[in-house]
């Protein structure tokens, strides 16, 4: 009997039912305890302390969290369509030379786009994507970054490269895939990249660059006295990819100093944004991941500059990510494979191509400051057109890279199986020379 009595005492001590009721109130944040604290049925002063929601309080009545009850994130703007600064305190106070570079880089991009688009239509290159209407989001953001910051682009951020010094010949050689192309002719046109300019080569699969950017930023954070951040660009359509969710969650939980720069231009190819998502755009998703966010007018180069500058300061100071959403309008077709007249009215397009065009806005601002010379700018456009046309003629005559290069640049030292494949290919080409345009390739 003594053994049974001892065992019963031990079990009673281990049982939660045997503990004093006062101790249960202290240790357990049950609904009963919460209601005693709150009294009238409002939020409890006690936090529930569930591992998955540490800051949430108990309530005694259910209340749906409805999306329409959440205030939309406002759109930050500095300059209106007439080039007038809405709030003088937001004037970025850039030097005249910097503003003129912003304007000319946008004009260069716009002019080059027009010619290369027509080049594709003539069958001289296989593919092209223009940047019409989004020039300010490229140039304004690039100007706010350090040249040492890494860029992971999608395929409509050519202006970032223009700002950093990618030349007309660099652009056109890439589009023609010749031996002077830094990518050795391995990519589709407009899939640019530059190690020298810290611009990671663009990939065709949508959204792959976003988690890569989160990882690169995390690696930067681990370096002593880090002063570099990472920015990754993507459209609102790419934000529907699973890669974006993975990137947001990784960056937020690992505290990566990365700027997620979404170009919300209204269309994911032909899918309008109203059919792409139901929530408050892309910036509205940031809070759910525990990230900061800022939405701004992407056709306003100064708003873009200020927003990106603020974002860069934030991610480096706090070692945390941020979501930027540049609101804009894609004036051009999605690509040379698209005809946007099938899904949007010409009247809508006209507004964004005139009154709300980012180049027109900056021109108005420069006119007000006395910084714009019509004759000089017209000469600049002519000189750019001449350079682009001349480079096209030159790039067309440059040979394609040596086809053997397709076996290189994967391993530091070519492994045996690739050496065998290269040898077999050389024998095949030699036996069937008449079927290959070898005269167009470097030997």
Catalytic residues: 118, 204, 334-335
Buried b (16+ CB within 10 A) or exposed e, 162-175: bbbebebbbbbbbb
Residue whose tokens read 């209204």: 266
- At 295, which helix (H) or strand (E)? strand 292-297
Quote the DSSP letter at residue 127. -
225: left (phi over 0), alpha (psi -120 to 50) or beta: left
Query: For 97, how many CA atoms within 13 A lie in the half-sphere containing its CB?
Result: 0
| Torsion angle in degrees (nearest 10) through CA of 368, 374, 380, 384 | 90
β strands within 155-201, DSSP E = 199-200
Residue 158 DSSP SS3: helix
Helix, strand, coil percentages for the chain (3-state, nearest 5): 50, 10, 40
The C-alpha R_g of the chain, in whole angstroms, comes to 29
DSSP state of 233: E
Euclidean distance between CA atoms 9 and 358, whole angstroms: 80
């Amino acid at each position: 009997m003594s053994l049974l009595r001892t065992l019963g005492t031990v079990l009673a001590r281990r049982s939660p039912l045997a503990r004093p009721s006062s101790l249960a109130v202290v240790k357990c944040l049950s609904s009963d305890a919460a209601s005693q604290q709150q009294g009238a049925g409002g939020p409890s002063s006690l936090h529930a302390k569930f591992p998955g929601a540490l800051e949430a309080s108990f309530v005694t009545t259910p209340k749906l969290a409805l999306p329409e009850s959440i205030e939309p994130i406002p759109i930050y703007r500095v300059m209106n369509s007439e080039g007038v600064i809405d709030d003088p305190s937001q004037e970025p106070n850039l030097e005249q030379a910097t503003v003129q570079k912003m304007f000319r880089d946008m004009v260069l991009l716009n002019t080059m786009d027009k010619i290369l688009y027509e080049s594709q239509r003539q069958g001289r290159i296989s593919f092209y994507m223009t940047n019409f209407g989004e020039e300010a989001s490229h140039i304004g953001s690039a100007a706010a970054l350090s040249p040492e910051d890494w860029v992971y682009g999608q395929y409509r951020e050519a202006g970032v490269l223009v700002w950093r010094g990618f030349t007309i010949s660099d652009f056109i050689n890439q589009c023609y895939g010749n031996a002077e192309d830094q990518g050795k002719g391995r990519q589709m046109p407009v899939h640019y990249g530059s190690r020298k300019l810290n611009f990671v080569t663009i990939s065709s699969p949508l959204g792959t660059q976003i988690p890569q950017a989160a990882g690169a930023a995390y690696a930067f954070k681990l370096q002593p006295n880090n002063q570099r951040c990472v920015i990754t660009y993507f459209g609102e359509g790419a934000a529907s990819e699973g890669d974006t969710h993975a990137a947001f969650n990784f960056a937020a939980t690992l505290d990566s100093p990365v700027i997620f720069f979404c170009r919300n231009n209204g269309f994911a190819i032909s899918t309008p944004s109203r059919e792409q998502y139901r929530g408050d755009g892309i910036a509205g998703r940031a809070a759910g991941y525990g990230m900061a966010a800022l939405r701004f007018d992407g056709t306003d180069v100064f708003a873009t500059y200020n927003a990106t500058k603020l974002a860069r300061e934030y991610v480096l100071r706090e070692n945390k990510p941020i979501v930027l959403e540049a609101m804009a309008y894609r004036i051009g077709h999605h690509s040379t494979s698209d005809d946007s007249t099938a899904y949007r009215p010409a009247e809508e397009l006209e507004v964004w191509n005139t009154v709300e065009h980012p180049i027109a806005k900056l021109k108005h601002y420069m006119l007000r400051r006395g910084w714009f010379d019509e004759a000089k700018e017209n000469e600049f456009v002519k000189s750019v057109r001449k350079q682009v046309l001349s480079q096209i003629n030159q790039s067309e005559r440059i040979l394609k890279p040596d086809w053997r290069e397709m076996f290189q640049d994967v391993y530091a030292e070519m492994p045996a199986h690739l050496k065998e494949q290269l040898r077999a290919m050389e024998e095949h080409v030699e036996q069937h020379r008449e079927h290959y345009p070898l005269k167009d390739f470097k030997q």
